[in-house]
Amino acid sequence: MKGAAQYREVQRSAANEVIAQHSDLVRRIAHHLAARLPASVEVDDLIQAGMMGLIEASRSYDADQGASFETYASIRIRGSMIDEIRRGDWVPRSVHRRARDAAATIRRLEQSSGRAASATEVAAAMEMPLPEYLRLMEDAARGQVLSLESRIEDQGELDTVAQGGPTPQQVLERSEFGRELGKAIGHLPEREQLVLSLYYEQELNLKEIGAVLGVSESRVCQIHGQAVLRLRGRLKVFEAVDAGLEE
């Protein structure tokens, strides 16, 4: 019993240290996200959810996977914030449905070719005009298609936040998801990695990122969206769910 108590104390101390070192990151992301959401969304609620995402990120981060901790943690923090407000219905469900279709197409193309699928290839495989697919990439960047609660809700299960907390199985899923996410980020095309780093880690806006890359804001949004769709397509945790939803 004494050993267990000591272990819990070490865990608490580690969590407190992570929060102390990266609390400013959580606050920046909360304000960054709140500016794009309805006024009814409280920044303090986002910060509280983000702190939980930060702790989860610290537990599941693996430096060997290629993503920096701040980039990895920023995505997990933002995901936790969006999980918290998903019931607000600020992202149309059609965005999630179309994003699932695109991610499944990317998965199929990349598994077949062994390389990153281009936007032109994905659009052709979906029998969708390229401009329409580019708009879908922008929608994916504004939505959240990497959320575990989004995945659970897609399966028709109850929202874990509403139940007061995740089950042990869902905690395990989060840990596995975190490891997969870090690995997948590290294997994105270089430009997509850069956009994620500048957006989530450096907190640059689309205009600023566009200036760095020498492209328009719209193009940055598309690159961001393509990265999001590619990540979902490569994460095994979504594969069985997406396949079931396509039947």
Each residue's pLDDT tens digit, 193-234: 999 889 877 878 888 999 999 999 999 999 999 998 998 888
* C-alpha to C-alpha distances, 208 to 72, 185, 196, nearest whole angstrom: 21, 22, 13
Predicted confidence band at 140 (pLDDT cuts at 50, 70, 90)?
Answer: confident
Would you state the structure tokens that stand for residue 231, as one six-digit string? 């990540």
Alpha-carbon gap, residue 19 to 110, rounded angstroms: 38
* DSSP, residue by residue, 8-40: HHHHHHHHHHHHHHHHHHHHHHHHHHHTTS-TT
Predicted confidence band at 244 (pLDDT cuts at 50, 70, 90)?
Answer: very low
Q: What is the pTM of this model?
A: 0.58
Each residue's pLDDT tens digit, 21-67: 888 999 999 888 877 665 667 888 889 889 989 988 888 888 777 77
Alpha-carbon gap, residue 238 to 96, rounded angstroms: 13
Which range, 21-35, 167-181, 228-242, is most confident?
Answer: 21-35
What is residue 173's predicted lDDT score, i.e. its pLDDT?
A: 56
* Cα angle 99-213-185, degrees, rounded to a multiple of 5: 45
Predicted confidence band at 155 (pLDDT cuts at 50, 70, 90)?
Answer: very low
Would you state the structure tokens that stand for residue 6, as one six-digit string? 């000591």
Structural domain total, the chain: 1
Would you state the structure tokens that stand for residue 194, as one six-digit string? 């850069």
- Rounded mean pLDDT, 229-242: 71
**Which distant-in-sequence residues (6+ apart) come within 8 Å of 63 by Cβ?**
69
What is residue 131's predicted lDDT score, i.e. its pLDDT?
A: 94
Residue 196 and residue 209 in contact, taking contact as beta carbons nearer than 8 Å? no
Alpha-carbon gap, residue 32 to 146, rounded angstroms: 18
Residue 154 pLDDT greater than 50, yes or no: no
- Rounded mean pLDDT, 82-95: 65
Per cent of the chain over pLDDT 70 is: 69
Instruction: Classify residue 160 by its DSSP letter.
Output: T
**In which domain, by residue range, is 224 found?**
2-246
Predicted confidence band at 236 (pLDDT cuts at 50, 70, 90)?
Answer: low
Residue 58 and residue 178 in contact, taking contact as beta carbons nearer than 8 Å? no
**Which distant-in-sequence residues (6+ apart) come within 8 Å of 102 by Cβ?**
122, 126, 133, 136, 140, 229, 233
Would you state the structure tokens that stand for residue 89, as one six-digit string? 């219905």
